Amino acid sequence: RVPSAAAAAAAVPRPQASAGDPAGGAAAARRAVADAREMALALPLPLVDQDDPNAGFLAGLLASAPADLPAALAAAPADSVELRLRALRAELELGRTAAASAALAELEAAHADDWRVVWARGVVSLAGGEDAVAALSFDAVYDAFPGEPAPKLALGLCAEILGQLDNAAEYYRLVWATDPGFVSAAFGLARVQLAAGDREAAVRTLESVPESSIHYTAARVAAVRARLRDRSPEEALLPDLVAAAAQVEALVRLGLDAERQERLSAEVLGSALDWVLSGSRGTDPGRTTLLGSQLDERGLRFGLERSYRVLARLAQRGEDRIELVERANRFRPRTWV
């Protein structure tokens, strides 16, 4: 059974195939999913069959580092499907896609109809860039378990990578609406909405992640960035600047670490500076500060300088520290001191 916090109550009609997508949409989607291997490994793991002779042995290896797994698996008391699936997964985690493909071929030769092997084929194909093959594999699992969120999540990822943004959005929306435990569906839906040019919808999706989720902070950080990334400074940006600043302040109250706080602050203040220098369309005379900085060129430059100097102090590497200090100096307004 594919694991989920709560299975869908009934079969969900799958989206219709897209008639086609402009090349620009496909390119944008592939840029958004830059590391297919990491995305494939982030998909849910099938539960281990408790009747497998190695079920107890594998449960004891859950905390093992990927580099230690091959030697640990060699000590298994018996051969089994679950053992081979875990060995295949270890090869993928170590970045050895060719070895994972070879292990998959052996599994398919003996267990071609096992849905766990079909799921593994999808993961290996996705990690290896064979997106269409991955989609076919996950579609087969969907047919076997139409109420489960996991295959719909996997199909959404495949559709996103293939540039089928409407299909991807529908799969992600189905998962997010059915089981809010799959927060990756919210992130996927927001990516697709941004790629389709619906920034407001992307922000709403990210802000719908509940505070009880362990991914709440990451979602709110992504929402701040979604508001401001790739925006023209000539737009009337003030409402989004104010909302982004308020979100940063709220995250700080919740314990956001200093580095992310300053990086987010620098993004907000940098967008505000570009907006001010471009003419400040949509200015609100009642708004005079942003993240503690005066909402004018001089104040925003001081704010950016402060954030970059804090980041320089937090930097672990000397070259990063030097770059951040230089950036702080570039933003510092001219003064007599």
- Whether residues 24 and 143 share a domain: the answer is yes
Domain end call among 151, 170, 197: 197
CATH number for position 325: 1.25.40.10
For residue 276 the two structure tokens come to 């001010």
Could you read off the pLDDT of 283-295 as tens digits, one per residue?
888 889 999 999 9
**42: amino acid identity, one letter:** A
- Whether residues 214 and 173 share a domain: the answer is no
How many domains does the chain fold into?
Answer: 2
Q: What gap in Å lies between CA 209 and CA 211, rounded to an integer?
A: 7
Domain end call among 140, 173, 197: 197
Could you read off the pLDDT of 23-68 as tens digits, one per residue?
344 444 444 344 777 888 889 988 899 999 989 999 888 777 888 8
- Whether residues 107 and 123 share a domain: the answer is yes
Q: What is the 3-state secondary structure (H, E, C) of 268-295?
A: HHHHHHHHHHCCCCCCCCCCCEECCEEC
Q: Can you give the pLDDT of all 337 residues of the chain as single tens digits?
A: 333 322 222 222 333 333 233 334 444 444 434 477 788 888 998 889 999 998 999 988 877 788 888 888 888 888 999 999 999 999 999 889 999 999 999 999 999 889 999 999 999 999 988 999 999 999 999 999 998 999 999 999 999 999 999 999 999 999 999 998 899 999 999 999 999 999 999 999 999 999 999 999 999 999 999 999 999 999 999 999 999 999 999 999 999 999 999 999 999 999 999 999 999 888 888 889 999 999 999 999 999 999 999 999 999 999 999 999 999 999 998 765 5
Per the structure, the complete domain to which residue 189 belongs is given by 1-197
- Whether residues 27 and 93 share a domain: the answer is yes
- Whether residues 131 and 276 share a domain: the answer is no
